[in-house]
Structure 1
Amino acid sequence: MRYAVGGGKRLRGFLVLETAALFGLPPERAISAAAAVECLHAYSLVHDDLPCMDDDDLRRGQPTVHVKWDEATAVLAGDALQTLAFELLCDPDLGSAETRIALVRGLAVASGAEGMVLGQALDIAAESASAPLTLDQITRLQAGKTGALIRWSAEAGAVIAGADAAPLRAYATALGLAFQIADDILDETGDEAQTGKRLHKDADAGKATFVSLLGLEGARQRACDLVAEAESHLAPYGDTAKTLIDAARFVIARDS
């Protein structure tokens, strides 16, 4: 479990802490929620890498869990990380029982059959589809597989603070899609030593991506437009949202 959560960008946990800071909450009030979403995300990667899913042998620059140990260990480590996530959301520092229940329910929805798991199921189904997915279909897929946890992460600070989460939800919706488009661009143009994972797998499998449908420059422009949209939703917070604006710009400028 510790091996699986090592490395990575920590974007989701970062969003939890930074959105909490918008409302004047110190890191210790939100750290358990940040750790929870990172555990949940790590579990999804461990299972996503299994031979029955994407069959990957490299993640974050190191052997995937099932390669380093075995498939059974990977399944159990992923299961344990998932349940740990919900244990962490029971931390009294996060607020009242009602607040903690809202966080638990939100993460369950974001990670389950209406969110991340749905996105993964659609992704697997696309491998045997008679025709490549359309742009609308890929957008829906990625809104679940990648976007749902990013949305929860950005909303969490507002939930803990008892504030309106709508602007942050809109910010995160645009950010999540920009993040995935950037991933597709990196899969086309990136370097495995920097990304820490195998590249060109979707293209080799004949799966449609944002790059294959929009072209490389079209995908870059769409990602830039989404970042601008994400920034616009932070206007109500003024200068206090500068770090979140920087995060949105980082999402499409990164090389891993």
Structure 2
Amino acid sequence: MTEPFAIRLQSFADAFSQDLRARLAELLSGAPERLADAVNHAALAGGKRIRPFLVRESARLFESGEDDARAAAFAVECLHTYSLVHDDLPAMDDDDMRRGRPTVHVAYDEATAILAGDCLLTLAFEFLAATHHAGGLTGTLARAAGGTGMVGGQLFDLAAEGRFEAGGKVPDTETTIRRIQAMKTGALIAASCEMGAIAAGAQESHRQSLAAYGREIGLAFQIADDLLDTHGDAARIGKAVGKDAAAGKATFVGLLGTDGARDLLASTVEAAKANLGALPGDTQTLQALADYIATRDH
């Protein structure tokens, strides 16, 4: 990671957060105050904003579709945030901290957290409803988020802990871990890239190249996350560390060890970059993002 790219990403995140704050205030003006507060607590807590950044940068390769890309970026981030709110619940991962602040169910209560997540999920599709490419954007996001994507991946993740199997924990194999991570993390990141292309009216081959890049980036992001959970600093990361091993989660760190996971991370980043060669425009930012994901410390 180079420092200029880190600064550029942070600058985007700051501007995006201010823009999102204004849009949420507009869309939630008639909502119960407690619900609006909980949604804002979750959505405006910071974060790297990598998914909306991917939407924007993917669209910029084609120099069109700015309005649709902006709406798609809001949609992706709202949907991602809803997933975090629900994942943090006691019935799921039971986390007390997220992005350096108390999780929604801790700051408010479980019922409010569930409803705040529901609200964020619904807002995602409200953002897409008025776009020029509503059908393509909505379908892509729904597939990435549903039973064959993020939600299904979360259930497989819980099953790998042994929650539902009478015989105990599902054996950790590369196939099992790749399936979990491709669905739980990779699907939405790949959709972010593809939605940027859809917003810009890109041709199918370019959409698929970006989606393939996104799938590799999603795997890299999750491997890096697992390494941070093992070796990271909780204060720097903004959430508890060491929980994956304690919960018996299926990860490449657990399967391959730290060095093996780092080697896989490096090769995955290179595989992601290889998908950018056939795309138009300047892909240097997307290449830099791949490097950032491999070297981030939070």
Q: Aligning the two structures, in what range does the TM-score lie when normalised by the shorter sequence?
A: over 0.9
Match of 2:218 among 173, 176, 181: 176
How far 1:239 moved relative to its partner? Answer: 6.1
Match of 2:242 among 188, 194, 200: 200
Q: Decide whether the 8 Å contact of 1:13 with 1:35 is kept in 2.
A: yes
Determine the C-alpha separation between the residues in 1 that align with 2:128 and 2:280: 29
Q: Decide whether the 8 Å contact of 2:161 with 2:250 is kept in 1.
A: no
How far 1:159 moved relative to its partner? Answer: 1.0
Helix, strand or coil for the counterpart of 1:236?
A: coil
How far 1:169 moved relative to its partner? Answer: 1.1
1:221 aligns with 2:253: no
Q: Decide whether the 8 Å contact of 1:181 with 1:219 is kept in 2.
A: yes
1:110 aligns with 2:147: no
* Most deviating of 9-18 and 160-169: 160-169
Letter in 2 for 1:48: D
Determine the C-alpha separation between the residues in 2 that align with 1:42 and 1:206: 24
How far 1:74 moved relative to its partner? Answer: 0.2
1:64 aligns with 2:98: no
Q: Decide whether the 8 Å contact of 2:273 with 2:287 is kept in 1.
A: yes
How far 1:213 moved relative to its partner? Answer: 0.9
Determine the C-alpha separation between the residues in 2 that align with 1:33 and 1:246: 22
How far 1:26 moved relative to its partner? Answer: 6.0
Determine the C-alpha separation between the residues in 2 that align with 1:9 and 1:70: 26
* Most deviating of 15-24 and 202-211: 202-211
Structure 2 segments unaligned to the other structure (5+ residues): 1-38, 163-167
Superposition pairs of residues 90-169 of structure 1, within 5 angstroms = 90-92=129-131, 95=132, 99-128=133-162, 129-163=168-202, 164=204, 165-169=207-211
How far 1:157 moved relative to its partner? Answer: 1.5
Determine the C-alpha separation between the residues in 2 that align with 1:138 and 1:130: 13
Determine the C-alpha separation between the residues in 2 that align with 1:86 and 1:26: 18
Determine the C-alpha separation between the residues in 2 that align with 1:130 and 1:26: 46
Q: What is the number of equivalent residue pairs in this alignment?
A: 251
Identity of aligned residues (%): 54
- Tell me the alpha carbon deviations over residues 42-65 of structure 1, each in whole angstroms, 9 at most, x when there is no partner: 000000000111110000000000
Determine the C-alpha separation between the residues in 2 that align with 1:222 and 1:239: 29
Using a 3 Å threshold, how does the CA distance of structure 1 residues 184 and 84 change in structure 2: closer, same or farther?
Answer: same
2:85 corresponding residue in structure 1: 46
Match of 1:13 among 37, 52, 58: 52
Task: Please provide the CA RMSD for this pair.
Answer: 1.3
Helix, strand or coil for the counterpart of 1:235?
A: coil
TM-score of the pair, normalised by structure 2 = 0.82
Using a 3 Å threshold, how does the CA distance of structure 1 residues 208 and 221 change in structure 2: closer, same or farther?
Answer: same
- Tell me the alpha carbon deviations over residues 129-177 of structure 1, each in whole angstroms, 9 at most, x when there is no partner: 4343211101101111101100100001211222221110111111110
